[in-house]
Amino acid sequence: MKNFDHSYTKTPDELYELLESSASGIEANEAEKRLRIYGFNTLKEEERSYFSIFLGQFKSPIVAILIAAAMLSLVMGHRTDSMIIVGILIINSLLGFVQEYRAETSIRALKKLTETHVKVIRRGLEALIPSHEVVLGDVILLGEGDLVPADIRLIESHALQADEAILTGESVPSAKEANVLLPIEALPYERNNTLFSGTHIIKGTGVGIVTSTGENTYLASIARSAKEQSPHSPLTRALAIFSKRLILVLIVILLVVGIVGLLQGRSQGEMASILIAELVSAVPEGLPIVVTLILALGAYRLSRHKVLVRHLPSVEALGSASVIATDKTGTITEGFLSVRQTEALDHEELKMCAALCNDASEERGDPAETALVRWIGEEYISIRNNHPRIFYHPFDPQSRFMATINQNDAQERLHIKGAYEALRSMAKNPENELQRLDNAHDAMAHAGLRLLAFGISDEKWEDPSEWNIRIVGLIGFADAAKSGVESAVAQAQEAGIRVVMVTGDNPITAQVIAKEVGIWKEGDTILNGSEIENMDDEELHSVLHGCTVVARALPEHKYRIVKLLQTHGEIVAVTGDGVNDVPALKAADLGIAMGNGSEAAKSTAKMVITDNNLGVIVDAIRQGRIITANLRKVIFYLLATCFDEILLISGAILMGLPLPIHATQILWVNIVTDGVTDKTFPMCREEGNVMKRFPRRLETQFFDRWQVARIGWVSIINASVTLAVFLHLLREGYSYETALTVSFCIIVTSQWVNGILAQKEEEPFFYNIRSSITINPAIWIGIGIGLALQAVALYVVPKWFHAVSPDGEMLAWIGMATVLIFILIESYKWMEWGLKKWIKREEN
């Protein structure tokens, strides 16, 4: 005996035989035996140890560089620097540890969905048992409000409807019918003779036999996908690429400098000092501090925009997203049905029928019936009180209608509600009215509305087969699009972000909503879950190019789409709120859960939005892009300041000159430039409109050809001008201490210049000087602090830094070199700006 994946293809009698059960259930001792063999009806948890999760935080190559920087700082006697770097490493590791451990709770949240009690039949008697004790072959009794404890093949059903939104994302309940057999290829949302673990009963009653428990349920298959390791954020991957390239470049530079120095006859001790100085200057030890500051400030700003960040690196992922795979219900739409359109032959009678042929209150009931309550409004209670119910004919999936008999003044009146086709067959309306209703029905159905017809009769009502009714109208329902979503979609598309709706809803409804909000346009493809089943990865990826709507999607389809897009270089953000979204949320570069969604979704996601609206996500993407731009700017600044020092030292060695900057001075430069200016980059405001720029590819996010060329130019200019002044002063007979002091100061001022110009990447400084000055007022405070510290070093304790206090002539050299560097960098930015404009015109 085993779990049956295809129980929907078998009759109840076949299942009784295969599962060694019967309509009277199984014996108690047999249940205990099966419990021992197959285990409890729960989802297994695979917990990683605290220690293994913590160690996993140290795998990044950037961490190796920072550990090396900490060790070098310690060797050089700078314990404070070393302790700061180690402290940042520990803080970052603890943040990563907390996030990963919290993500492990997603499986526990899934488990909680099955922790309840359930009615079973054992030895012909009803018993109430914990759901985790349910075993294969148990006969289960279910009614309105019950949670389904396992996968169950229905044996009996009476007007049974189940809410499967947690698995499919659909807001419309699924009607269930025991007396059907389905083909083996039927997908989960098509199995209307089956109840799935984790769903719950909205209406009716049913009896079923348990065919799968615990790890073999459909819910468990979703949980297993959630165990996959989440991908590293784009920032983490980009920094990993950067650190590998930096290591390679450093090895080459140090090797060349070391060989040349030894060939020049320099001592091993001198070369060791030089190489250590180069390493100290090369490692951007301020990078993790600034990155953490930018991400933390970004997370704070996002919280003010209704976005809660659970994993700091994911803040930057917002700015990198190239595809948003969004669900429909609750994100694009309101998440509940409402009356969208009516066709009334008699408006008052239609309202009367909608109120009386209804079992809902405003807060509880079938989604369509609660929508009718809201549509009728305050009259709902008074209508029902003035027309008491005499008889009730519940909804029957076979007849496809429900009916009530109510007192109407001195007579009894039949009120009926159901499928238009069912009511039309018993309608006695004039032909012109029926034609009008036919046309309205076809138009509303084509618009993707869920339709109900309403009718009345004052004739005999004892035998439904003899009913003659008059249809009084049609009502169309829809899960309406939220206000502002259309604008949000347009902003995302303008920003070069593809928006794809992935929903469990039917294709017609999905297309109508997608068209309404601008996701689907003429010529776009709509994919169906059943079509995805029959496609290989290559074919699916080809179709996805023009696809904006995926309907009837299962969790595994959404997951597969996300992975396939990632394989082809896309940065994918996924929104979701149900258990069905968990695999895709876990696999996505950025999983975004809804604030009112399931605990499983929120535990898996890296961000949670408190307002379930696509507009909030697009607004968050704007903030993410500002954060990404600031990260790109600070990386440029830090690398340029590192490489200008490397080029300065290397150039001096290759030219056979003494060191133009001392190792102690390098450490001081890092304090008065990087130390006080790079911390101001997080406060930099938006430059231009970031939503009018297309997202960059991962490999070029921080290091495209423009960025690399700019780093190279600034590094070369700073190093060349400094080295030229240093060499000129030596040749003119100035002392080494004087030349060393001047080059020391030029490096400091050139890096301040670079910091000012780096605040704007898209425009030169003088293009809009007002904006350039005000885009980040904090940079001026940082430079002011640096200037004060440098003055103390030069005029109070110059000997500590192997320097002399500069006189007027030395200050003149420093000033001229600084102005020259500003002019050369600003000229390059004008050239780059003009070239980009020309390229853009050519492309258009």
Calculate the alpha carbon distances from 633 to 10, 646, 729 in Å.
Answer: 64, 20, 34
Distance spanning both ends of the chain, measured CA to CA: 67
**Hunting for tokens 């020391």 — which residue is that?**
744
Helical axes 485-494 vs 507-517, angle rounded to 10°: 70
Structure tokens at 668: 């001081």
Q: Is 327 a catalytic residue?
A: yes
Active-site pick, 81, 327, 674, 678: 327
Return the SS3 of 413. Answer: strand
Residues 373, 375, 379: CA angle, nearest 5 degrees: 65
H or E element: which one contains 373?
helix 367-376
DSSP-assigned states of every residue in 167-196: HH--SSPEEE-SS----TT--GGG-TTEE-
In sequence order, what E strands does 387-502 have?
389-396, 401-408, 411-418, 450-457, 470-478, 498-502
Q: Count the Cβ atoms, other than its own, within 10 Å of residue 82.
A: 19
**Hunting for tokens 């670079």 — which residue is that?**
754
Q: What is d(CA 512, CA 507) in angstroms, rounded to the nearest whole number?
A: 9
Pairing of strands 607-609, 450-457: unpaired
3-state helix vs strand vs coil in the chain, percent to 5: 55, 15, 30
Q: Is 293:469 a contact under the CB 8 Å cutoff?
A: no
Q: Is 387:356 a contact under the CB 8 Å cutoff?
A: yes
What are the residues whose beta carbons fall under 8 Å from the beta carbon of 683, sequence distance 6 or more? 297, 776, 777, 778
Phi then psi for residue 367, to 5 deg, are -55, -40
Catalytic residues: 327
